[in-house]
Amino acid sequence: MLRLYNTLSRSVEDFKSIKPLSVGLYSCGPTVYDNQHIGHIKRYIGDDVLVKVLKANGYNVKHVMNITDVGHLVSDEDTGEDKMEKGAKKYGMSVWDIAKKFEKQFWDSIDAVGITRPTEIMHATDYIPDQIALVKILEEKGYTYEIPGDGIYFDTSKFPTYFALSRQNPEELKKGARVDFIEGKRNVADFALWKFSFTSKGEPRRQMEWWFGGPLEGKLSTSENWNQVPTEFREKVGFPGWHIECSAMSLRALTDFFSANLPYVQSYLTPQVKNLQTIDIHTGGIDHIAIHHTNEIAQSEAATGEKFVNYWVHHNFLIVDGEKMSKSLGNFYTVQDVVAKGYDPLALRYLILQTHYRQEMNFTWESLDAAQTALERLRSVILNESEGSLVHDHTWMKKFMEALNDDLNTAKALSVMWEMVKDQDLLPGEIQGTLLEMDKILGLNLKLNPKSQIPNLKIPEEVQSLISEREAFRKAGDFGAADEIRNKIADLGFTVEDKLEGPVITKK
């Protein structure tokens, strides 16, 4: 039986799915306005372990992730610059191209660290009509108010359990950091569901804005269609608040809410949708608890009248050399940086698995060195000639699963794995078989034999040693010397390509 820590109850609970042997899981995905660093990736490795452990427990998992490609303001509040527009300015590209560029970097990183991609990937810009529908349902039900020239806001005083997830004290909040600096906001925690673009006031048009109301509702507003819509609808042209996308897309993908509610405004109270509007698990970073997830719960539960999510899973941060990883401190590394320094990206995965997901993880290059060595040792166990057939040992597998079922204790699972590798009572084929079975969850690709990536390709010794020499230079950051060796390798008739999973050698 899987036990999971639920932020809602602040305790480890037995996991029970709503439908037998089937789990709906929603992960808040990245805002694709810049490179995703290894701190972000830690969080998705945590989700990947959760998915793989659920599957090992016999569940069929529908894993949904959003890509935020619109409307996430820098401050997490409802003021400040839009992250996408900021990224576009920085790189001199359109917001649409920025989204494409950094989504690719995200998936490249995800693939490199052995994460299984989600079952369904939803882009916020593809679900604007659903987000508008949800705002309209909340308007109909009396949970909203409008601040002219600003946006449509959720009135948190109408939702009595607003602080259930964050357990914040509203009085403390008033004194604290979340200052109510938007004129017209009724309560300090109120948040925007829809922001107006101010285009009617002659301010510059945004690159991403949509019609809200009118014949083109939910469609992009462009200069071509601007005059086709009656004037009264122009004031509400705008973009969704950050939180509404996750409510809309998770309810769309994992519940019957939308299919049972369209046309939404007229029939949203139909009784047959009762109890089909709750999601099993929702995940995010710990910083999502106080604002983003709290707001998602308020919006969704106010709209559906049902519990939104049964289990809330939150991942702790990655810090680097004792400080939080951030660009301004210059301690910001991507998976691509890790690879450029000559490490296997799966060594990063191994390192991340050594820390429980609810604990802060301190990243150092020395610890990555150690993780790479451990990974190579495990691979050598698999590579050694085995006597007898590969079978897995049930007693060790049981211990391993017990560790993972205890709130995803990957650190304990790794130590069980090493104990098993050293078990003198096991035959080599049993050790290898058990290791490979464990690797189905650990995702370290232990079968990988760097020398046999290209089957039937005989690499001469001279080339082999040049490749190793070049890797050493790359690891030391001496790319000039590495390039010189690449040329020598080319002279000998071979091409080296630096893929995220390591150097790949082909014959010219």
Question: What residue ranges bind ligand AMP (CB under 6 A)?
Answer: 31, 39-40, 42-43, 284-285, 287-288, 317-318, 324-325
Q: Token pair 């899981």 is at which residue?
A: 25
End-to-end Cα distance, the chain: 53
Nearer to ligand AMP, 44 or 159 (CB): 44
CB 53 → Zn ion: shortest distance, Å? 22
Two structure tokens written together for 201: 């006031």
Q: Which is nearer to Zn ion, 121 or 472 (CB)?
A: 121
Tell me the backbone φ, ψ of residue 378, rounded to 5 degrees. Answer: -65, -40
One-letter amino acid at 298 equals A
Query: Which residue in the shown chain puts its C-beta closest to ligand AMP?
Result: 285
Least separation in angstroms between CB 57 and Zn ion: 25
The residue ranges of DSSP E strands in 112-190, in sequence order, are 120-123, 144-147, 151-154
Q: Which is nearer to ligand AMP, 287 or 469 (CB)?
A: 287
Residue 246 binds: one of Zn ion, ligand AMP, none (C-beta under 5 to 8 A by kind) = Zn ion
Euclidean distance between CA atoms 496 and 462, whole angstroms:
14
Backbone angles phi, psi at 246, to 5 degrees: -70, -35
For ligand AMP, give the closer residue by CB, 249 or 446.
249
Decide which of Zn ion, ligand AMP, none touches 318; Cβ closer than 5 to 8 Å per partner kind.
ligand AMP
**Least distance from Zn ion to the Cβ atom of residue 111, Å:** 22
CB 450 within 8 A of CB 346: no
Nearest distance, CB of residue 249 and Zn ion, angstroms: 9
Select 220 or 286, whichever has its Cβ closest to ligand AMP. 286
CB of 118 to ligand AMP, least distance (A): 16
Angle made by CA atoms 92, 93, 98, in degrees to the nearest 5: 125
> Of these partners, Zn ion, ligand AMP, none, which one is at the site of residue 503 (CB under 5 to 8 Å by kind)?
none
Nearest approach in angstroms of CB 292 to Zn ion is 5
Stretch 19-38: interaction string toward Zn ion, x if CB under 5 A: ---------x----------
Among ligand AMP, Zn ion, none, residue 293 binds (CB under 5-8 Å by kind)? none
With CB cut-offs between 5 and 8 Å by kind, which of Zn ion, ligand AMP, none does residue 392 bind? none
CB 114 within 8 A of CB 346: yes
Q: What does 252 interact with, of Zn ion, ligand AMP, none (CB < 5 to 8 A by kind)?
A: none
Locate all alpha helices (DSSP H) within 22-146, ordered by sequence: 38-56, 83-91, 95-112, 128-140
Nearer Cβ to ligand AMP (46/443): 46
Question: Taking CB under 5 A as the criterion, which residues in 121-140 touch Zn ion?
Answer: none
Rank residues 199 and 367 by Cβ distance to ligand AMP and give the closer one. 367
Nearer to Zn ion, 103 or 344 (CB): 103
Q: In the bound complex, what is the minimum distance in angstroms from residue 152's beta carbon to ligand AMP? A: 24
Minimal distance, residue 376 CB to ligand AMP, in Å: 26
Work out how close the CB of 214 gets to ligand AMP at its nearest, in angstroms, rounded to a whole number.
33
313 binds Zn ion (CB under 5 A): no
Handedness of CA 344, 346, 349, 351 (dihedral sign): negative
User: Within 13 Å of residue 157, how many CA atoms lie on the same side as its CB?
Assistant: 5
Task: Specify the residue, 246 or 403, whose C-beta has the smaller distance to Zn ion.
Answer: 246
Helices (H), 255-364: 257-261, 264-267, 294-304, 335-340, 345-353
Least CB distance to ligand AMP at residue 315 (A): 7
> What residue ranges in 272-404 does DSSP mark as E strands?
279-285, 309-315, 318-320, 323-324, 361-363
β-strand partners of 41: none
Judged by CB under 5 A, which of 23, 246, 248, 339 binds Zn ion? Answer: 246
| Residue nearer to Zn ion on the CB measure, 99 or 246 | 246
CB of 48 to ligand AMP, least distance (A): 14
Query: Which residues 6+ apart lie within 8 Å of 405 measured at CB?
Result: 1, 2, 3, 53, 57
Residue 350 near residue 375 (C-beta atoms within 8 A): yes
Residue 23's binding partner, choosing from ligand AMP, Zn ion, none, with beta-carbon cut-off 5 to 8 A by kind? none
Nearest CA among 333, 409, 412, 417 for reference residue 375 = 417
What does 214 bind: Zn ion, ligand AMP, none (CB cut-off 5 to 8 Å by kind)?
none
Give me the helix-helix angle, 128-140 and 242-254, nearest 10°: 100
The amino acid at residue 255 is T
Token pair in block for residue 123: 């882009």
Residue 104 interacting entry, from Zn ion, ligand AMP, none, C-beta within 5 to 8 Å by type = none
87 binds, among Zn ion, ligand AMP, none (CB under 5 to 8 A by kind): none
Concatenated DSSP letters for 92-110? TS-HHHHHHHHHHHHHHHH
**CA–CA dist 464, 487 (Å, integer):** 14
Q: Give 42 or 236: the residue with its C-beta nearer to ligand AMP.
A: 42
In the bound state with ligand AMP, the residue whose beta carbon lies nearer, of 102 and 212, is 102
From the CB of 247, what's the least distance to Zn ion, in Å?
Answer: 8
Contact residues for Zn ion, defined by CB under 5 A = 28, 246
